[in-house]
Amino acid sequence: MEAVRILPMTLHADLKSPRNKLQAVIENVERVIYGKPEAIRNCVVGLLAQGHLLLEDVPGTGKTTLARALAKSIDVGFTRIQFTSDLLPADLLGVSVYSSQESRFVFRPGPIFGNIVLADELNRTTPRTQSALLECMDERRVSVEGETRDLPDPFFVIATQNPMEFEGTYPLPESQLDRFLLCVRLGYPERDVERQVLLSRLELDPIEAIGAVMSRDELIAETEAVRRVRVEPSLLEYVLDLTEATRDGGRFLLGASPRAALGWVRGAQALARIEGRDYCVPDDLKRLAIPVLAHRVVPSSGAHGFGDNGGARSGEDAIAQLVDTVPTPE
């Protein structure tokens, strides 16, 4: 009988150590944010996919704490910008000041020149200042006083915002929402989890006890590896089918953009990398459909099957319905 040859596994050997590193980042954040593994994983997906992250929820649910914990888990530069109604674009981007020692104007970079930038309560500032972020997030550069300056690598914006019904907030325009790869909502914790939060903060804030578990070079290597994760043609067709369905004028007033489709695929590649695979599966796309697409679409209020008595449903409900109806590739 002929000897059976043992073929090498399709999973690359170099994935084992990186997966441990990525899991270490997730576990590090879980030491601070309890009971939200899905939200934490999605934050790491956004970081690896070189997108940007929007954390949206009511005040006090841990949005800022989550952003700080993720930033502390990676050894890169971190800046925090508290957005207020009187914040100006120059306060964000930087400004040139005259140096008497050098007898010339010298550019002083603003807080946007960081690796991980926390834009806290983004929707509390005016649309003029909000728009200053558009070039930064899309092209990773800043144009100030006729000169263009590159932002550092990596560059990752984590923005928090409160719901629109809170006073003193300005709605983010669709052009800016489309630049956020993921929108994550934490929600209120369950009773047992909230008890754990109270007990953990009686003496010391847990965020002060965590440190970096991944270096800048390791993060850059991981973002480059994400681009090499395989995506089968059938999965690309699934992405096209679902994004085209959001552009149905009868059910949506605003559909998903090509940027959304590209970000969805890149997010699925990042999720596969976190899971230790060098290929995507349909479940990677389905798990990210709502956080990637829901904040970019606007359901039609009169669409058949959307909401009670034809009323409007949320973007989450609309995308969930599409995921259920669009055939999944084998």
Instruction: State pLDDT tens for residues 100-118.
Output: 887 788 889 999 999 999 9
pLDDT of the residue at 261: 96
Contact between residue 136 and residue 179 where contact means Cβ atoms under 8 Å apart = no
The answer, yes or no, to whether residue 306 has pLDDT greater than 60, is: no
Average pLDDT for 4-20: 43
Confidence of residue 285 (pLDDT cuts 50, 70, 90): very high
pLDDT average, residue stretch 178-197: 91
The confidence score (pLDDT) of residue 21 equals 87
H or E element in which residue 56 lies: strand 53-56
**Average pLDDT of the chain, as a whole number:** 85
Predicted pLDDT at 209: 84
Give residue-wise pLDDT tens across range 127-179.
889 888 988 999 999 988 888 999 999 999 999 988 765 666 788 888 889 99
Task: Look at residue 187 in the predicted model and tell me its pLDDT.
Answer: 85
For domain 230-330, which CATH number applies: 3.50.50.60, 3.40.50.300, 1.10.8.80, 3.40.1190.20?
1.10.8.80
Average pLDDT over residues 298-305: 63
**Dist. CA 65–CA 55, nearest whole Å:** 11
Residue 205 has pLDDT above 70, yes or no: yes
Q: Which of 53, 35, 36 is nearest to 44 (CA)?
A: 53
Task: Report whether pLDDT(13) > 80.
Answer: no
Contact status, residue 272 vs residue 22, Cβ threshold 8 Å:
no
Q: Which of 242, 323, 259 is nearest to 286 (CA)?
A: 323
Alpha-carbon gap, residue 39 to 79, rounded angstroms: 22
Domains of the chain, by residue range, sit at 230-330
Between 18-22, 108-112, 140-144, 307-311, the lowest mean confidence (pLDDT) is in 307-311
Residue 14, pLDDT above cutoff 50: no
Mean pLDDT of 195-221: 88
* Greater pLDDT, 84 or 164: 84
Least confident of 34-48, 59-73, 241-255, 290-304: 290-304
Contact 51, 267 (CB under 8 A): yes
Looking at residue 217, its pLDDT comes to 93
Arithmetic mean of pLDDT, 269-297? 95
203 pLDDT band, cuts 50/70/90, is confident
Q: What average pLDDT does the segment 185-201 reach?
A: 88
